[in-house]
């Protein structure tokens, strides 16, 4: 078995290493159409070879000539961020902001100079906070000091497309129309950019609304058999994931979405179909990132009131500068590819979100 070469897929080494660990095929040496390598070929650039998916290679067979043995090109990654911790939206938002920056910032700032589509289902996106986080990140992590980090970030953010949805149906419609929007150069200024990432924040945000619609349909039908509403609900979730995968195949982009598993856990037995619809998003991911907050120790019972008052400022700073641990585990897609033996206990990274803004990794 050959070892996959390390490549920058997302731009964050801790996640890139996990991607290569969990998605690497058991059969990497199967025969696939060869890539044209003759001098002067305009079919693929060096960057295209790093980013090309398996589907791209197969579709280019008529350009490639004879079949040759080449390393398997895996499909783009899908990542789920589970919002399981208290106040989990704070670190998940910071992590999403970092992923946006790594995709849209220029190469001089260790970015990929791509475009990003950010679908906001919870209406919590803040362009001001995104700008502040990325400027702070550049100031803290740039090896070569940038003269104007604010202008660098502003230039990159012009290629972040923010879309907002108010229901699962509007999310589905947005996804269905997204390719047409992106492929029309007159509708935006990112036509010369590659779509690097599709982000859907709170993809199962509309669980309760979908549940109400299903209950209403059940009452209107005046039938205790929930099979018809089951089909509608599961079909909606299936259609959403089908559209996500279609966009991923079309643009060869990474997909990152956040889910709240606690929502699906509240479903009663008679609404179990909504549980499976919500869990579908988790099962469809290659990686599952779970964020937990490191506890800040309480004041000791042996401390006097004067001691507590003296140390309260330090404790307030420790609480505000939240420290989190992001654990990485294989999602449903990776389990089907590689099996449970590929789980690594050492995968994960530290995430700190300072109260003044910014993101710190490690």
CATH number at residue 85: 3.40.50.300
* pLDDT over 90 (residue 234): no
User: CB of 333 within 8 A of CB of 255?
Assistant: no
| Torsional sign, CA 166, 169, 170, 175 | positive
223 in a structural domain: yes
The closest of 73, 79, 111 to 15, measured between CA atoms, is 79
Residue 21 lies in a domain: no
pTM score, whole prediction: 0.75
| 142, pLDDT greater than 50 | yes
User: In sequence order, what are the residues at sequence separation of 6 or more whose Cβ sits closer than 8 angstroms to the Cβ of residue 285?
Assistant: 78, 79, 80, 257, 331, 332, 333
Higher-confidence position of 356 and 127: 127
Average pLDDT, rounded, for the chain: 75
Confidence of residue 144 (pLDDT cuts 50, 70, 90): low
Joined tokens for residue 283: 């099962």
Residue 214 domain-assigned?
yes
- How high is the pLDDT of residue 268? 45
Count of domains forming the chain: 1
Q: Is residue 257 part of a domain?
A: yes
Asked whether residue 134 carries a pLDDT value surpassing 80, the answer given is yes
Angle at which helix 127-141 crosses helix 89-104, to 10 degrees, equals 70
Q: What is the pLDDT of residue 356?
A: 66
Question: Domain for residue 68, yes or no?
Answer: no
- Considering only residues 343 and 197, tell me which one the structure prediction assigns the higher pLDDT: 197
Residue among 292, 256, 263, 257 at smallest CA distance from 279: 263
d(C-alpha 207, C-alpha 104), whole Å:
31
Q: Are strands 115-120 and 160-164 parallel, antiparallel or unpaired?
A: parallel
In a domain, 66, yes or no: no
71 in a structural domain? no
Cα separation, 235 vs 312, whole angstroms: 53
Query: 185 is in which domain, residue-wise?
Result: 76-361
Query: Can you give the pLDDT at residue 1?
Result: 40
Band of pLDDT at residue 138, cut at 50, 70 and 90: confident
C-beta separation of 201 from 130 below 8 A: no
Instruction: Give a yes or no: residue 126 inside a domain.
Output: yes
């Amino acid at each position: 078995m050959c070892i996959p070469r390390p490549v920058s897929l997302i731009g964050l080494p801790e996640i890139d290493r996990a991607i290569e660990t969990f998605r690497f095929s058991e059969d990497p040496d199967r025969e696939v159409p060869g890539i044209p390598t003759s001098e002067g070929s305009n079919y693929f650039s060096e960057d295209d070879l790093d980013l090309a998916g398996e589907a791209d290679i197969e579709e280019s067979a008529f350009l490639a000539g004879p079949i040759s043995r080449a390393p398997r090109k895996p499909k783009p990654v899908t990542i789920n961020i589970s919002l399981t911790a208290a106040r989990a939206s704070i670190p998940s938002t910071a992590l999403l902001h970092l992923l946006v920056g790594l995709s849209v910032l220029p190469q001089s700032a260790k970015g990929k100079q791509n475009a990003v589509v950010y679908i906001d289902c919870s209406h919590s996106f803040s362009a001001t906070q995104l700008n502040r986080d990325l400027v702070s990140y550049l100031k803290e992590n740039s090896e070569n000091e940038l003269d104007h980090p604010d202008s660098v970030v502003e230039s990159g953010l012009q290629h972040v497309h923010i879309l907002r949805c108010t229901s699962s149906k509007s999310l589905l419609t947005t996804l269905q129309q997204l390719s047409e929007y992106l492929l029309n150069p007159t509708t935006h200024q990112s036509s010369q950019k590659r779509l690097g990432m599709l982000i859907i924040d709170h993809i199962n945000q509309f669980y309760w609304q979908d549940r109400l619609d299903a209950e209403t349909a059940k009452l209107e039908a005046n039938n205790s058999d929930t099979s018809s509403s089951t089909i509608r609900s599961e079909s909606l979730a299936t259609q959403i994931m089908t559209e996500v995968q279609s966009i991923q195949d079309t643009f060869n982009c990474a997909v990152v979405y956040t889910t709240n598993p606690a929502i699906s856990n509240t479903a009663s037995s008679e609404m179990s179909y909504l549980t499976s619809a919500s869990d579908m998003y988790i099962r469809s991911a290659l990686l599952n990132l779970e964020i937990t907050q490191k506890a800040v120790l309480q004041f000791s019972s042996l401390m006097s009131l004067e001691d507590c008052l003296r140390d309260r400022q330090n404790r307030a700073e420790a609480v505000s500068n939240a420290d989190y641990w992001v654990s990485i585990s294989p999602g449903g897609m990776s389990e089907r590819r590689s099996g449970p033996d590929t789980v690594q206990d050492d995968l994960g990274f530290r995430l700190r979100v300072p109260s003044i803004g910014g993101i710190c990794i490690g």
